[in-house]
Amino acid sequence: MENNRSSWGSNLGFLMAAIGSAVGLGNIWGFPYKMGKSGGFTFLIIYLLLAIFVGMIIMVTELAIGRKTGKSIISAYNEVSKKFKFLGWLGIFAPFVIMSFYSVLGGYSLQYMSLNMAELSFGLSGIFGSKITGGDTFSSMLVNPFGCFVFTLLFIIICMLIVRGGVEGGVEKFNKIGMPALFVMLVVVIIRGLTLPGSVEGLKFMFVPGYAVSAGFISEAPNIVTVLGTAGGQMFFSLSLAMGVMVTYGSYLDKKENLIQNSAVIVIADTIVALMAGFAVIPAAVANSMAAGIAPADMALGGPKLLFVTLQDVFSNMGAIGPLFGVIFYLLVLIAAISSAISLMEVVSSHFIDKAVAKGQKDPRKKIVLFVALAILVEATLVAVDGLGSNGIAPMNLLGMSSAPTFLQDWLDFMDCWSEGMAMPLGAMLLGVMVGWELNPRLALDEVEVSTKVGKGFETFYTICIKFVVPIVMAFVLAGQMQDYFGIGAISYIISIGILVVFWGITIATKKK
């Protein structure tokens, strides 16, 4: 790097960090369940196609913009396009807001790990009654705002300490140990899960097209547009795209590294871990719920309930060895959450660090990371105290509503709606418009070519994807998210396609002048 900005120690270190960011709660509680619900193997194919045609393309583009400018998110977008400068702000807003609930969920994992550890070491199964059951533990946890606050705080402190350590000394170091460790723990949990009697039902749920409906897990199959929206949204969140992460991580990357190959490795690794997570959790969750006589339609196989109710029951029913698996599993979840959270914290911090350095401050990282962590603590406290809407301060309660669309039901969903739901697909859609139409696809390709010759084939493929496939697919994803969060039906398509057409129009019209 020509300036004295931080950089990765090695390409492997970068890959571990980027994979660490990608591998998170989305892989563990999102992917396997959505795959099962949305058509099993068919969903997997759609997901992979989207990952190649959209995910990979955005990944290459973000890494290229980051490395080309060597700047943090806002300055990077500012440098490539004045007109689309606001995308940089979107890219700092979204990760900041995601941290509000990611920290709380990290705090839950920390609590569950501690509980299992306490049971393992002192047989403290009596903390919440006679035996830890997932349901009781989870509801007692949610209605204990102080406890949730403390563990959220602890989680934020852990992330802060890592990010304070810097790019190489903190983020890279953590991931270089954390990612292999996560992998090993995942294998251990998979072996245990697949050897539980009845686990094959879970495998069928995950892989066999149509099985979710015929076995009664869901009442009707989602239509193809919904599946596309689900797969696209999941892919985006899971690959940490349109969040400033890959731009920021790319800005620390050496000019000699191959951006296409690196992107492919990240996408493949993330998908493999998502599938492995499926093997680890779904068969065990289904087997155990079946043994308890729970009907398929009532099993909680996704979201917070999967992690903190269904799986805790699996461990509680394993006998003496249960708490040990509990500790391993929640530690795994915790590592996955930390490795993603530190990427989000790094995006926000790096913006202010670069600014301070430009003003001549010497080594402002520690101070800035502390301030960012404090700001995150404020918003996370709201989500922690809300306890997924258990404590009467959910947005709908404050508004005096008795029923409300998803985004008002609790603070987690509220935060999730604006960040993952809206900012992410909007940012990705407009990134396609910016690079494909306002600038030139060559912008990214030239940066790739600093180290690697790009064949004619890839050039054409990239150009078509960034100009057309990315914006159109993202408009559908945005529409799908609007439907989910606001419950506004088909109007969401009109709104999102409208936004795309307006931006396309303005971009092309103002460019010709």
Please report, as ranges, the residues that interact with ligand PHE according to CB under 6 A: 21-22, 24-27, 95, 237-238, 240, 243, 245, 340, 343-344
Query: In the complex, what is the shortest distance from the CB of residue 24 to ligand PHE, in angstroms, rounded to a whole number?
Result: 2
Query: In the complex, what is the shortest distance from the CB of residue 303 to ligand PHE, in angstroms, rounded to a whole number?
Result: 12
| Angle between helices 259-291 and 41-50 in degrees, nearest 10 | 160
Half-sphere exposure of 99 (CA within 13 A, CB side): 33
Query: In the complex, what is the shortest distance from the CB of residue 252 to ligand PHE, in angstroms, rounded to a whole number?
Result: 16
- DSSP letters along 343-376, please? HHHHHHHHHHHHHHHHTT-SS-HHHHHHHHHHHH
Nearest Cα residue to 22 out of 68, 73, 56, 66: 56
Nearest Cα residue to 336 out of 37, 68, 105, 34: 105
Q: Which is nearer to ligand PHE, 196 or 282 (CB)?
A: 282
Residues 184, 185, 187, 188, Cα dihedral to 10°: 120
Q: Which is nearer to ligand PHE, 21 or 75 (CB)?
A: 21
Query: In the complex, what is the shortest distance from the CB of residue 158 to ligand PHE, in angstroms, rounded to a whole number?
Result: 16
Residues 82 and 362: beta-carbon distance below 8 Å: no
Q: Which is nearer to ligand PHE, 201 or 346 (CB)?
A: 346
Distance of CA 182 to the CA centre of its chain: 16
- Joined together, the tokens standing for residue 109 give 């994992």
Cα separation, 485 vs 465, whole angstroms = 28
- Joined together, the tokens standing for residue 452 give 């690697």
Q: Which is nearer to ligand PHE, 245 or 368 (CB)?
A: 245
Q: Which is nearer to ligand PHE, 120 or 241 (CB)?
A: 241
Residues 218 and 37: beta-carbon distance below 8 Å: yes
Query: In the complex, what is the shortest distance from the CB of residue 19 to ligand PHE, in angstroms, rounded to a whole number?
Result: 10
Q: Which is nearer to ligand PHE, 26 or 326 (CB)?
A: 26
Region for 81 from its dihedrals, namely left if φ exceeds 0, alpha if ψ lies in -120 to 50, beta otherwise? beta
Q: Which is nearer to ligand PHE, 95 or 304 (CB)?
A: 95
Q: Which is nearer to ligand PHE, 24 or 278 (CB)?
A: 24
Q: Which residue is nearest to ligand PHE (CB)?
A: 24
Residues 500 and 429: beta-carbon distance below 8 Å: yes
Query: In the complex, what is the shortest distance from the CB of residue 340 to ligand PHE, in angstroms, rounded to a whole number?
Result: 4
Q: Token match 């529409």: residue?
A: 479
Residues 158 and 331: beta-carbon distance below 8 Å: no
Cα separation, 155 vs 211, whole angstroms = 38
Cα separation, 473 vs 54, whole angstroms = 8
Fill in the amino acid letter for 345.
Answer: M
How would you class 29 by CB atoms within 10 Å of its CB: exposed for 0-12, middle for 13-18, buried for 19 or more? buried
Q: Which is nearer to ligand PHE, 156 or 245 (CB)?
A: 245
Query: In the complex, what is the shortest distance from the CB of residue 31 to ligand PHE, in angstroms, rounded to a whole number?
Result: 8
Query: In the complex, what is the shortest distance from the CB of residue 463 to ligand PHE, in angstroms, rounded to a whole number?
Result: 26
Residues 448 and 65: beta-carbon distance below 8 Å: no
Query: In the complex, what is the shortest distance from the CB of residue 347 to ligand PHE, in angstroms, rounded to a whole number?
Result: 8
Query: In the complex, what is the shortest distance from the CB of residue 225 to ligand PHE, in angstroms, rounded to a whole number?
Result: 23
DSSP 8-state symbol, 453: P
Distance of CA 427 to the CA centre of its chain: 15
Query: In the complex, what is the shortest distance from the CB of residue 134 to ligand PHE, in angstroms, rounded to a whole number?
Result: 21
Q: Which is nearer to ligand PHE, 90 or 394 (CB)?
A: 90
The terminus-to-terminus CA distance of the chain in angstroms comes to: 37
Q: Which is nearer to ligand PHE, 239 or 284 (CB)?
A: 239
